[in-house]
Amino acid sequence: MGKLDNMVAIVGGASTGMGAATARLFGQEGATVVVAARSRDKLSTLVQDIRVNGGTALAVPLDANDRGAVAGMVERTRSQFGRIDVLVNSVGTNIKNRAFVEMRPEDWDMMIAHNLTVAYNLVDAVLPVMRIQGAGTIIHYSSDAVQKPNVVSGIAYQATKHGVRGLAHGTMMEEREHGIRVSVVYPGPCNTPLLEKRPEPPPPEAFAKMLEPEDVAEAALFIASLPPRAYVPELVLGASLM
């Protein structure tokens, strides 16, 4: 018996890092997992990994900035599997020129689109299904930069991750009467490909002290597997050695 038996979960941004780890863990715990991201090849490999370990998975390559594509993915999920119990939003990016004096207006626009508007697109698409069901759990991966502002992550990254927090809590207040729960996870430094976009990559010794994507996936599993009467507004997941 898995903790997510008979559940259907969509994981956006599933091709690498926290999203891929979440999809694998959810599959191991019995969920049918629909994985979405832009990289067709990485999604194909991920689905094979989930199936080899006994899980059920479907890959839907898409650009989540395309609202029509997101809506199509949600409808395909509902049509093929009958319901959507969990949405995990693991979409996120950053830029190298992240200081205010270096950032260009088009960088800001891209960050808003990719980190915040995409979150809206995913939620907007799944809400009608969850309302009809009278149940559903939405989990957003934000960042501990919301809790502890820093220079490393950059202005645009912090602003968009604050925006995700606002989206999450506002959605929860409006949708709780429909049985929908919305949670935000704030991971600390985590060993993911996003670190490659830092202006100066962390020194090798720092990686051993960071979170791993699987740690964040465990946090999402905890939230998703709680009974409907329980709700986690926010979960801060720190790297204890840093």
Share of residues in the chain with pLDDT > 90 (%): 89
Q: Is 105 helix (H, G, I), strand (E, B) or coil?
A: helix
Per-residue pLDDT averaged across 75-80, rounded? 98
Per-residue pLDDT averaged across 68-82, rounded? 98
95-115: pLDDT as tens digits? 999 999 999 999 999 999 999
Residue 157 designated active-site = yes
pLDDT at 197 > cutoff 90: no
For domain 8-237, give the fold: Rossmann fold (3.40.50)
Alpha-carbon distance of 129 to 84, in angstroms, equals: 7
Per-residue pLDDT averaged across 31-58, rounded? 97
Per-residue pLDDT averaged across 119-141, rounded? 98
The pLDDT value given to residue 149: 86
The pLDDT value given to residue 242: 73
pLDDT at 117 > cutoff 90: yes
201-231: pLDDT as tens digits? 888 889 889 999 999 999 999 999 999 999 9
Side by side, the strands of the sheet bearing 32-37 are 56-61, 32-37, 8-12, 86-89, 136-141, 180-187, 234-237
168-192: pLDDT as tens digits? 999 999 999 999 999 999 999 999 9
DSSP 195: G
Per-residue pLDDT averaged across 28-45, rounded? 97
- Cβ atoms of residues 13 and 91 within 8 Å: yes
What distance, in Å, lies between the first and last C-alpha atoms of the chain?
36
Per-residue pLDDT averaged across 36-61, rounded? 97
Given 120, 141, 157, 231, the catalytic residue: 157
The pLDDT value given to residue 64: 97
Computed over every residue of the chain, the mean pLDDT equals 96
Structure tokens at 120: 């809206």
